[in-house]
Amino acid sequence: MYFRLPDDPILDAASLPPELDLFQVGDYSTVIVGTERFMESVKHLQLDGITFQELNVR
C-alpha cells in the first residue's frame, strides 16, 4: 500500500519519542525522522548520501 507524504508535514510534539534520535513515522516506511542532534552528528562525521529537510513540530 502506498501513502503519500503531505507537502508540509507537521509532527505532533507529544507523539515524538524523547529517548530516540532516529525513528520512522507511522505508515511512511521510506521516511526516517531524525533529531537535530542526529543531523549534527552526521555532519560532524562528514557522512554523505543523506539529505535533511526540516519538519514543523506543534
pLDDT digits (tens, 9 = 90+) for 12-22: 999 999 999 99
d(CA 22, CA 19): 9
Q: Which residues contact 5 (CB under 8 A, 6 or more apart)?
A: 28, 31
Q: Which position has the higher pLDDT, 53 or 5?
A: 53
Calculate the average pLDDT of the chain. 88
Sign of CA dihedral 55, 9, 57, 18: negative
In this prediction, residue 27 carries a pLDDT of: 76
Residue 41 clears pLDDT 80, i.e. is over it: yes
In this prediction, residue 21 carries a pLDDT of: 96
Taking CA atoms, 46 is separated from 20, 49, 54, in Å, by 21, 10, 19
